[in-house]
């Protein structure tokens, strides 16, 4: 049986086929591209927000630099009261110079090598929020450890470490001469006037030596020293960018 289509049927058939092709093309070609465009828009919006956050943090860089300079200058003032970490001979030279002018007849100086010791906090200061603000602003890519964020958000209480400082013990023996007590007081006053952290622990004086020797006094001294911060280096401005070099790996010990 021959099926003849009228002109109207042919037109309808062609229109239907065109619609099917368009619908198939939409689902196969246009819709995936449309979804990709929307995904690209979302990604662009996220990157723009990330850029805005980074620009905001970078904008605080001058304040961070100024805060670092202020902190360095404050440290520079406070570290002046400490001796610089040095050889025992240097410490002995400092004590001799501090006592110069008293015309002391120093008979013996015994100085121990400087050892590291911890100083426990006897006061608890409030958390330095400004330091945390600087640290958070400098964290451009949110790479700080979780405990830092916990401290910043008051989730975890801060635990203050003990301060490590150099301690040097010295024993100083000198002749008193005829004016015994005044000579002892002169030395004590001279050490008290010194602005460095020199602590006089004890004084032992022999007013009547047994063998007829000249009376002498022995002092126990403790000196506190640090490795000072180079404030001038911190305050020096430069445009040079130095890359952070990874720490050198220790060579493995050969098997025995």
Q: Quick check: helix, strand or coil at residue 251?
A: coil
pLDDT tens-place string over residues 185-198: 888 888 888 888 88
Inter-CA distances, 82 with 149, 163, 231, Å: 34, 14, 15
Same domain, 43 and 93: no
Find the angle CA(175)-CA(178)-CA(181) to the nearest 5 degrees. Answer: 75
Query: 172 near 120, Cβ under 8 Å?
Result: no
Half-sphere CA count of 81, side-chain side, radius 13 A:
11
Whether 202 maps to a domain, the answer reads yes
Does 36 share its domain with 86? no
Output 148 or 125, whichever has higher pLDDT: 148
Q: Say if residue 187 is in the same domain as residue 88.
A: yes
Domain range for 157: 82-229
The SS3 call for residue 67 is helix
Residue 3 falls inside a structural domain: no
Number of structural domains (the chain) is 2
Residue pLDDT, tens place only, 37-92: 788 888 888 888 888 888 888 888 888 888 888 888 888 888 888 888 877 888 88
Same domain, 109 and 187: yes
- Is 1 within a domain? no
Torsion of the alpha carbons at 235, 237, 242 and 246, rounded to the nearest 10: 10
Distance from first CA to last CA of the chain, Å, rounded?
99
Same domain, 132 and 215: yes
Could you tell me if residue 249 is inside a domain? no
Asked if 225 and 151 sit in the same domain, the reply is yes
Nearest CA-CA partner of 108 in 221, 218, 224? 218
My answer on whether 98 and 36 are in the same domain is no
């Amino acid at each position: 049986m021959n099926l003849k289509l009228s002109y109207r049927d042919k037109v309808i058939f062609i229109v239907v086929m065109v619609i099917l092709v368009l619908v198939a093309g939409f689902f196969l070609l246009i819709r995936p591209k449309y979804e990709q465009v929307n995904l690209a828009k979302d990604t662009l919006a996220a990157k723009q927000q990330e850029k805005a956050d980074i620009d905001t943090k970078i904008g605080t860089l001058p304040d961070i630099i100024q805060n670092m300079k202020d902190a360095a200058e404050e440290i520079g003032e406070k570290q002046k009261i400490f001796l610089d970490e040095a050889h025992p001979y240097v410490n002995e030279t400092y004590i001799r110079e501090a006592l110069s002018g008293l015309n002391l007849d120093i008979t013996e100086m015994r100085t121990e090598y400087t050892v590291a010791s911890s100083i426990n906090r006897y006061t608890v200061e409030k958390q330095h929020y400004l330091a945390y603000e600087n640290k958070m602003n400098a964290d451009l890519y949110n790479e700080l450890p979780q405990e830092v964020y916990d401290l910043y958000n008051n989730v975890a209480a801060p635990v203050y470490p003990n301060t490590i400082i150099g301690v040097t013990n010295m024993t100083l023996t000198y002749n008193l001469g005829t004016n015994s007590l005044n000579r002892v007081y002169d030395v004590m006053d001279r050490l008290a006037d010194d602005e460095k952290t020199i602590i006089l622990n004890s004084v032992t004086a022999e007013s009547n030596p047994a063998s007829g020797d000249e009376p002498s006094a022995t002092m126990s001294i403790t000196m506190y020293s640090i490795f000072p911060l180079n404030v001038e280096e911190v305050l020096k401005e430069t445009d040079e960018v130095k890359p952070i070099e990874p720490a050198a790996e220790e060579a493995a010990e050969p098997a025995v």
